[in-house]
Amino acid sequence: MSTFDDLPPLRAVIARHDLQAKKQLGQNFLLDLNLTAKIARQAGDLSGCDVLEIGPGPGGLTRGLLVEGARHVLAIEKDPRALPALAEIAAAYPGRLTVLQGDALQIDPLAHLTPPIRIAANLPYNIGTELLVRWLTPPAWPPFWQSLTLMFQKEVAERIIARPGGKAYGRLALLVQWRCDARIVMTLPPEAFVPPPKVHSSVVHLTALPAPRFPADPTILSQVTAAAFNQRRKMLRASLRGLHPQIETLLDGCGIAPTARAEEIDLERFCALARALGVARNAG
Ligand code: SAM
């Protein structure tokens, strides 16, 4: 018996339901219920909240979220083999766990959730970034969630919180930090998972800002950062040439050296450039 709930240990659950991990589904399971409860606590006060979990697998984090008091957990799992194990958890917590089987990229969870909503997940590595970007952009913006507490490969987590001046800094950092406060709250070694992945993993906690950190039109900001980082080794006067005929003047006007490279420019300056570009296009 686990010390946390009356359900069997996860190793026994996996053995009984024949849930050997499949690489193509990004399955690296957390079996230590101390650890999953700790991750659930990083999601904040869950009482009175609905929690959306992507990829519950055998249910370690799901159990952590329920033990930590989530009002209701909506779990979306692609692998039908996990359903019997998840049904046992649902039976132990009547009315508090709903499981939808399918691809999280295809399912709209909103009809099954009541605010306030938090999202917590040990994400399948192959769709983690795509889900994050979706939760930060229209039509899912303004956000339906209060916070995101998400496990990524450590390298992806570092790209999310990166500051200017390094290889990790790029479009993902700018998108996230424009709209959210984001921090790494936990880093786990490969041995924390079964089977162990090749790399370390980190949990990132994100909360949405009431308004973007600096004003800018989202479409223009996205065009600027895409052009700048798609050719990140080039000087900005070259990589941004296609955006406006007087790009050097616009860069100068925002205090950006036309010879600078994308990774030297902070979020505030990218937003200033997006605004200047908007004004220049309207004038032209
Ligand atoms: N939450 C469990 C844990 O922490 O032990 C499992 C995490 S494992 C890294 C990722 C889970 O996401 C697996 O259970 C996998 O089957 C599931 N998954 C993979 N692709 C998915 C998709 N497109 N939609 C929903 N779930 C998916």
CA 44/CA 29 separation, integer angstroms: 22
pLDDT digits (tens, 9 = 90+) for 102-146: 999 999 999 999 999 999 999 999 999 999 999 999 999 999 999
Instruction: Check if 172 has its Cβ closer than 6 Å to any atom of ligand 1.
Output: no
Kindly give the confidence (pLDDT) of every residue in the chain, 284 residues in length, as a single tens digit, with 9 standing for 90 and above: 344 788 999 999 999 999 999 999 999 999 999 999 999 999 999 999 999 999 999 999 999 999 999 999 999 999 999 999 999 999 999 999 999 999 999 999 999 999 999 999 999 999 999 999 999 999 999 999 999 999 999 999 999 999 999 999 999 999 999 999 999 999 999 999 999 999 999 999 999 999 999 999 999 999 999 999 999 999 999 999 999 999 999 999 999 999 999 999 999 999 999 999 999 999 97
Question: Which ligand 1 atom is the nearest neighbour of the CA of 121?
Answer: 1
Q: Which CATH class is domain 10-208?
A: alpha beta
* Domain range annotation of the chain: 10-208, 218-283
How much is the pLDDT for 284? 76
How much is the pLDDT for 118? 98
How much is the pLDDT for 1? 37
Say what the ipTM of the complex is.
0.99
Architecture, CATH, for domain 218-283: Orthogonal Bundle (1.10)
Give 177 Cα–ligand 1 centroid separation in angstroms: 26
How much is the pLDDT for 80? 98
**Residue 77 marked in a binding site:** yes
**Residue 30 marked in a binding site:** yes
**Residue 166 marked in a binding site:** no
Instruction: Check if 65 has its Cβ closer than 6 Å to any atom of ligand 1.
Output: no
**Residue 267 marked in a binding site:** no
Instruction: Check if 276 has its Cβ closer than 6 Å to any atom of ligand 1.
Output: no
Ligand 1, atom 19, residue with closest C-alpha: 25
Give 199 Cα–ligand 1 centroid separation in angstroms: 17
How much is the pLDDT for 2? 46
CA 48/CA 198 separation, integer angstroms: 37
